Amino acid sequence: MTDKVRVRFAPSPTGFLHIGGLRTALYNELLAKQTGGSFILRIEDTDQTRLVEGGIENIVRTMKMMGLEANEGVYLDNKDQIAERGDYGPYLQTKRKDKHTAYAKQLIEMDKAYYCFCSAERLEDLRHEQQTAGKPTMYDGKCRATPREEAEKRIANGEKYVIRLKLPKQGRITAWDVIRDDISFDWSLIDDQIIIKSDGLPTYHLAATCDDHDMEITHVIRGEDWLPSLPKHLFIFESFGWTAPKYAHLPLLLNADHSKLSKRQNDVAVEDYLNKGYLPQAIINFVALLGWNPTGDRELYSHEELILMFDLAKVNKAGAVFNLEKLDWINEHYLRSIPEDEYLALTHPYIKDLNSDQNFVDRAALLVRDRVTLPSQVAELVSTILKETVDYSQANIAWKTQPKEQAVERLEAVKKLLSDIDESSFAKREARVEHEQRIKKMIMDKGWGNGDTLWPLRVALSGQDKSPSPFELLEVLGKERSLKRLEAAISHLST
Ligand code: GLU
């Protein structure tokens, strides 16, 4: 047995990587990275009827985009083909079918499992009967008592069968979970789980448990929905005399109304968030906090910090509410803190069609950086700044109850002041500060108010009640455009 941490993310490719899966993958990765252990990607594809075309590729590719690459298991090679690496393969679960079948046979031999011949109709009738009687619906154990020789004869005669675990029917089992501590289960409420289906394929329960043993997994970190299955998994470990890994069941993810996170209320595929322009580092930061906060006094953590601070035992038991506003807030933070060229590269797909020189467009994009949550939102703001003629019909150029004539007076004065500044001063780095100083000095000298001068100026430049500051606008628009807009605003006020 290894003393190195070995953890696995074991998604079923029945869909694309979703937010919950990403959190599971992340917590596994954090523990592996923190301890210098191995992070394994095992694909649990035994339920062939539910496989989604492109699911495996999506999971692997999305994990890579999020900076979560497994160092062992399934990956995409440089031709984008599904490949495997590591000493514990295969990592595509269906390829391990023979091992699973052999384990199931061993369980039968140890009398820890049995053949069951009950037809789908019988099971349906049974379920119906139990439902009407208000009892829990579960297998009644009819085939438990069938002697093995008889069962083997029936199989030899071509009868269809499944293999079920022969679980205890009385007493309790107490399991230990890193997050939840001791949890006790009543055996009488646990169904004799099917481990081999009638098509000969193993179910998740057998496959995952045996693979976890064979791959020497030390910690199983997975969603809370698997908690009810834990006794069955421990039963398998115990039957074989294997040491079980440590288990940690992560809290459920909830919609704002505390129902289970669903597609109906939120996007759940990680790809959807990436396509909308959420940054990988923001998504990682956000997802890490779904059920855990390293220090409790802040919300922003880099991936490196998360690795250093991760503590599985401190993960919450209670469900974690998926709060989109928090994701937006985190994304705004990262969008503002990445280098300018990275930010611009993100905005380019949205502003490439704007008919203006790139330098001008980029300056406008930088100007609105503090006002956007997603790069796509830059387009509208930038095009407002860049358009040749400004429409003042929806804007209030005059401030509050300010008479139009006064607004005109202020704008004329600023226009005069700006006309006297030469073109090259507008292009200087310090232009913004200089404009601000000059204009504020003029306001003081004349004994005017900031509001009654700067409001009309800002709206004259932007055509909008809400916009970046007039000094920022002056810097981006430059002398000629700024003067043209002031004239247009003056003439709008004068009509
Ligand atoms: N294949 C299971 C899933 O997709 C994995 C559960 C586990 O980690 O044991 O949820």
Q: How large is the greatest C-alpha to C-alpha distance in the chain, in angstroms?
A: 107
Residues noted as catalytic: 263
226 lines ligand 1 (CB under 6 A): yes
Q: Is 11 in the pocket of ligand 1 (CB under 6 A)?
A: yes
| Ligand 1 nearest atom to the CA of residue 9, by list position | 8
351 vs 237: CA distance, rounded Å: 58
Q: What are the pLDDT tens digits along the chain (495 aa)?
A: 568 999 999 999 999 999 999 999 999 999 999 999 999 999 999 988 889 999 999 999 999 999 999 999 999 999 999 999 999 999 999 999 999 999 999 999 999 999 999 999 999 999 999 999 999 999 999 999 999 999 999 999 999 999 999 999 999 999 999 999 999 999 999 999 999 999 999 999 999 999 999 999 999 999 999 999 999 999 999 999 999 999 999 999 999 889 998 877 778 899 999 999 999 999 999 999 999 999 989 999 999 999 999 999 999 999 999 999 999 999 999 999 999 999 999 999 998 777 678 888 998 899 899 989 999 999 988 887 888 889 998 889 999 999 999 999 999 999 999 999 988 888 777 888 999 999 999 999 999 999 999 999 999 999 988 888 999 899 888 899 999 999 999 999 998
Fold match between 94-250 and 404-494?
no
Give 12 Cα–ligand 1 centroid separation in angstroms. 7
Are the C-beta atoms of residues 438 and 416 closer than 8 Å to each other? no
Are the beta carbons of 235 and 106 closer than 8 angstroms?
A: no
- ∠ CA 24-26-30, rounded to 5°: 120
User: What is d(CA 40, CA 85) in angstroms, rounded to the nearest whole number?
Assistant: 10
Distance 334 CA to ligand 1 centre (A): 31
- Ligand 1 centre distance from Cα of residue 10 (Å): 5
Spans of all domains in the chain: 6-91+253-321, 94-250, 340-386, 404-494
Identify the CATH number of the domain defined by range 404-494: 1.10.10.350
Does domain 6-91+253-321 correspond to CATH entry 3.90.1150.10?
no
State if residue 44 touches ligand 1 by the CB under 6 angstroms criterion.
Answer: yes
pTM as predicted: 0.88
Buried b (16+ CB within 10 A) or exposed e, 262-278: eeeeeebbbeebeeebb
Residue 208 alpha carbon, nearest atom of ligand 1 = 9
Distance CA 320, CA 413 (A): 57
In 3D space, the residue among 45, 24, 28 whose CA is nearest the CA of residue 37 turns out to be 28
Q: Is 208 in the pocket of ligand 1 (CB under 6 A)?
A: yes
Residue 36: strand, helix, or coil: coil
Cα–Cα distance measured from residue 91 to residue 292, given in angstroms and rounded to the nearest whole number: 29
Closest ligand 1 atom number to CA of residue 11: 4
| 3 state DSSP class of 326 | helix
CATH number of 94-250: 3.40.50.620
Assess whether the C-beta atom of 107 lies below 6 angstroms from ligand 1. Answer: no
- Of 247, 227, 122, 126, the C-alpha closest to 179 is 247
